[in-house]
Amino acid sequence: MTKRLKLDAWKEEVLAGKLCPYCNNSTNRIKGLEIYGKNTSWSDLEFMLCRPCWAYAGVHRESGIALGSVANSTLRNKRKAAHQVFDRLYKEAHLTRAQAYTWLANQLNLDRKLTHIGMFGEESCDLVIELVVPFLEKLRQQKLSG
């Protein structure tokens, strides 16, 4: 049986978007208006924000739970890039999103509950791309030859 990572209370608060991993301050729930201004599709959405660091994460519309840890602009861009590749995985491999995350959890040897790009740091986002791109290429080659 594979030993899985156990989170301490601090890490749980960070992954829940309640604490900033950069400065340790508590985050605030705000409207997207504060980040994006008015008249955008993001204005009425909720976010968790660390004002001193300007690190933020979206909040799930139905559950009200943060979509992951708050992130600075560098990490947000890495997460976007990882998501673009990851979204191709479940679409091109004809998997459900849940199946794709299970595949990723197995590749990363992570607990499935901790396998979400919104919880990943920069290195983990890079690793998602490093794992998924060759897998998709192999899948494409199999389709061409078969």
**What percent of the chain is modeled with pLDDT above 90?**
84
Q: What residue segments make up the domains of the chain, in order of their start?
A: 1-70, 73-146
Q: Could you tell me the CA-to-CA distances from 37 to 42, 47, 52, 66, 119 in Å, in that order?
A: 8, 13, 19, 20, 26
H or E element at residue 28: strand 28-31
Q: Which two tokens stand for residue 4?
A: 């899985």
pLDDT tier for residue 145 given thresholds of 50, 70 and 90: confident
Residue 2 has pLDDT above 60, yes or no: no
Q: Which two tokens stand for residue 34?
A: 């504060």
Question: What's the whole-number mean pLDDT along residues 101-116?
Answer: 95
| Helix, coil or strand: residue 19 | strand
H or E element at residue 104: helix 97-108
pLDDT of res. 143: 83
pTM for this entry: 0.88
Residues 139, 92: contact at Cβ < 8 Å? yes
Residue 86 has pLDDT above 50, yes or no: yes
pLDDT tier for residue 45 given thresholds of 50, 70 and 90: very high
Residue 138 has pLDDT above 90, yes or no: yes
Read out DSSP for 29-74? Answer: EEETHHHH-SSSTTTTSEEEEETTTTEEEEB-TTT--BSSS-B-HH
Residues 112, 101: contact at Cβ < 8 Å? yes
